Amino acid sequence: MSLVNFTINGISMQAEPGATILECAKSAGIHIPTLCHLNLHDTKMVNQVGTCRVCMVEVEGRRNLAPACNTAVAEGMAVRTDSVKAIKARRKVVELLLSNHPKDCLVCARNQNCELQSLAAELSIRRVRYDGKRNNFPWDTSSYSLVRDPNKCVLCRRCETMCNKVQSVGVYSAVNRGFETVIGTAFDEPMLDTVCTFCGQCVSVCPTGALTQVDNTWAVWDAINNPDKFVIVQTAPAVRAALGEEFGMPVGSLVTGKMASALRLLGFDKVYDTDFAADLTIMEEAHEFIERVKNGGTLPILTSCCPAWVKFIEHQFPELLDIPSTCKSPHEMFGAVAKTHLAGKLGVDPANMVVVSVMPCLAKKYEASRPELALESSPYVDYVITTRELGAMIREAGVRFASLPDGEFDSAMGESTGASVIFGATGGVIEAALRTAYAWLTGEKPADVEFTALRGIKGIKEATYNIAGTDFKIAVASGLGNARELLERVRDNPDEYHAIEIMACPGGCVSGGGQPYHGNDPETYAKRAEAIYSEDRAKALRYSHENPEVIALYEEFLGEPGSHRAHELLHTEYTKRTV
């Protein structure tokens, strides 16, 4: 295939046919401002609708400016990204966007992290010359996970692209026409009454404050400062690999110890690690898998740690609800054990115990509200805050995070193994399960503890492992669009796989909807995942079934994996959903 010859700002360049001006400029280090454009992991230039008109450039011989994001380079094309005409056009477009935008930047959740705000600064816009009719749409605060403020929507359609093309959920679409156009739900249904999985990926890609998380920080502050409440906190594996970014630390900084210290300074009565419950999850999930294999149970078994993925199968594939593991997610297992066994050990009335989960995920907020995950109508997990919310609380308290010494988690439910921490990366849950399943089936540890074929940020991964003379075919999917592809294979050929891990977010929990905004950069996912794997390698114990605190929990309270009490506290059920 012959290359196309062209110039950008007088620089001679070559590219394959079909490459866009924006792609080529970026590869040459030439900056073109964008807003609606979105380049996602595993998807090349996925959002090229060109609706915002911010990336306009001048093409020699053309009367009108061209959007760089969806204009292909052509033989002999001469492009100017820095002409007066192009710069004026960009400024005018941004001014028009600002003219119909709320002027509440100081109290907006995206203040200082808003792409529209950054564009205005980049283009030196100090006043808006246009003043006219403004939208006045109602907010949608129906869900436990996210808030929609359509008045801040710039119609970039990133959320629509993410929801429809990448996640294949199909909640968002453009409705109405002209000035009344808004990105919304079918028939203007509240988010809680849609098939939304609350994965939060729409929040991750929204460039403004049109989509934000439900803020639980004040409820947590109130609990901490209530002398009648005993407030404990648990932190998910992926949080430690991203929290440092909230304080200017490099991507991939592992801040486990600093995080524990910060949580104590905030006033939590006890600080625990969700990794303990991840090890507990593996005890139950590996036992369930082996039981199915030995007794002719339904295969493949599907992991059930991700609440967004669980809600997805409940809506989209109800005929397959008999195959996911019945295990609760780790933080819900933790809450169940905390308000039963731990409360008794600490001498705390469960009614006065408040369990707070720090998660990389918005769907965990929704999950904590599910009625089946409660103790006599009181939720096992009272509040879920995200990595971003924890960062905000630490800043509010005036804690100098980067200079904190490394602290430790509390004992009894704070010990963890390397197998648990890798839950935060795509492929990590099934790898952890395989480590223990291999040991239990063969009576010995695998030659290599790391099942590396299951790692990496590719959307779908497959591997086959021989364990005790049987070939087990494993699949991993991250991103709900990839999950749909795998589930369709299972529906058509149930015998193709033995076990499947699914995470709703592309790249896994490290790129969850509650993590620091990351620009959908695959390198960010990879660096966060590597931080998690480095903690795994540094652990003295790397198999969940070797966790001494988990072993003690079974001896003192649960009995054995799969016991009646274990099922009562650590397992759940799924429901076919229409909304």
Per-residue pLDDT, averaged over 503-527, amounts to: 91
pLDDT above 90 coverage of the chain, percent: 90
Token digits of residue 90: 């960009």
79 - beta bridge partners? 8, 59
What is the pLDDT, as a whole number, of residue 65?
A: 96
State the CB neighbour count (10 A cutoff) for residue 483.
Answer: 28
Report phi then psi at 443, rounded to 5: 80, 10
Catalytic residue at 546? Answer: no
Q: Reduced to 3 states, what is the DSSP secondary structure of residue 11?
A: strand
Is 1 a residue whose pLDDT tops 70?
no
Q: Which of 305, 306, 327, 505 is catalytic?
A: 305
Q: Which is more confidently placed, 3 or 42?
A: 3
Residue type, 241: A
Q: Residue 179: which residues within 8 A CB-CB, separation 6 or more?
A: 133, 135
What is the pLDDT, as a whole number, of residue 522?
A: 80
Least confident of 55-64, 148-157, 283-292, 515-524: 515-524
The DSSP code sequence of 14-50 is EE-TT-BHHHHHHHTT-----SS-EEETTEEEEE---
Catalytic residue at 339? Answer: no
pLDDT tens-digit map of 306-343: 999 999 999 999 999 999 999 999 999 999 999 999 99
pLDDT tens-digit map of 203-245: 999 999 999 999 999 999 999 999 999 999 999 999 999 999 9
Q: How far apart are CA 272 and CA 407, in angstroms?
A: 11
What is the pLDDT, as a whole number, of residue 523?
A: 86
Per-residue pLDDT, averaged over 176-193, amounts to: 91
CA-based nearest residue to 69, from 94, 30, 33, 42: 33
Q: How far apart are CA 214 and CA 210, in angstroms?
A: 12
Is 374 a residue whose pLDDT tops 80?
yes
Q: How far apart are CA 24 and CA 509, in angstroms?
A: 32
Per-residue pLDDT, averaged over 8-29, amounts to: 94
Catalytic residue at 305? Answer: yes
Token digits of residue 236: 């998910």
What is the pLDDT, as a whole number, of residue 457?
A: 86
Q: How far is CA 294 from CA 291, 299, 478, 485, 554, in A?
A: 5, 11, 28, 28, 23
Least confident of 105-119, 402-416, 514-528: 514-528
State the CB neighbour count (10 A cutoff) for residue 488.
Answer: 11
pLDDT tens-digit map of 88-147: 999 999 999 999 999 999 999 999 999 999 999 999 999 989 988 888 999 999 999 999
What is the pLDDT, as a whole number, of residue 48?
A: 67
pLDDT tens-digit map of 255-291: 999 999 999 999 999 999 999 999 999 999 999 999 9
Domains and CATH numbers, the chain: 4-96 (3.10.20.740), 218-570 (3.40.50.1780)
Catalytic residue at 325? Answer: yes
pLDDT tens-digit map of 455-490: 998 999 999 999 999 999 999 999 999 999 999 999
What is the pLDDT, as a whole number, of residue 191?
A: 96
Report phi then psi at 210, rounded to 5: -70, -30
Q: Which of 23, 284, 367, 535 is catalytic?
A: 367
Catalytic residue at 294? Answer: no
Supply the mean pLDDT for the chain.
94
Per the listing, tokens 């004040």 go with 218
Catalytic residue at 367? Answer: yes
301 - beta bridge partners? 499
Q: Residue 154: which residues within 8 A CB-CB, separation 6 or more?
A: 35, 36, 52, 97, 101, 116, 207, 208, 210
The pTM of the full predicted model, rounded to 2 decimals, is: 0.95
What is the pLDDT, as a whole number, of residue 51?
A: 85
Helix (H) or strand (E) run with residue 72 in it: none
Q: Which is more confidently placed, 38 or 24?
A: 24
Q: Residue 114: which residues within 8 A CB-CB, separation 6 or more?
A: 105, 108, 207, 208, 209
Per-residue pLDDT, averaged over 407-418, amounts to: 95
Q: Which of 509, 511, 527, 544 is catalytic?
A: 509
**Cα separation of the two ends of the chain:** 49
Q: Which of 58, 115, 246, 288 is catalytic?
A: 288
What is the pLDDT, as a whole number, of residue 50?
A: 80
Say if residues 152 and 210 touch (Cβ distance below 8 Å): yes
What is the pLDDT, as a whole number, of residue 13?
A: 95
The DSSP code sequence of 492-516 is H-TTS-SEEEEESSTTSGGG-TTSP
Q: Which of 60, 372, 396, 488 is catalytic?
A: 372
Q: How far apart are CA 248 and CA 29, in angstroms?
A: 24
Q: How far apart are CA 547 and CA 276, in angstroms?
A: 8
Per-residue pLDDT, averaged over 495-523, amounts to: 92
Is 43 a residue whose pLDDT tops 90?
no
Q: How far apart are CA 229 and CA 227, in angstroms?
A: 6
State the CB neighbour count (10 A cutoff) for residue 440.
Answer: 18
pLDDT above 70 coverage of the chain, percent: 98
Helix (H) or strand (E) run with residue 574 in it: none
Token digits of residue 433: 């399960």
Name the E strands within 258-345: 270-273, 301-302
Token digits of residue 481: 């669009």
Q: How far apart are CA 572 and CA 372, in angstroms?
A: 7
Q: Which of 258, 270, 364, 461 is catalytic?
A: 364
Catalytic residue at 509? Answer: yes
What is the pLDDT, as a whole number, of residue 77?
A: 96
Q: How far apart are CA 569 and CA 546, in angstroms?
A: 21
Per the listing, tokens 């959320």 go with 159
Q: Which of 23, 246, 284, 285 is catalytic?
A: 285
Catalytic residue at 160? Answer: no
What is the pLDDT, as a whole number, of residue 413?
A: 93
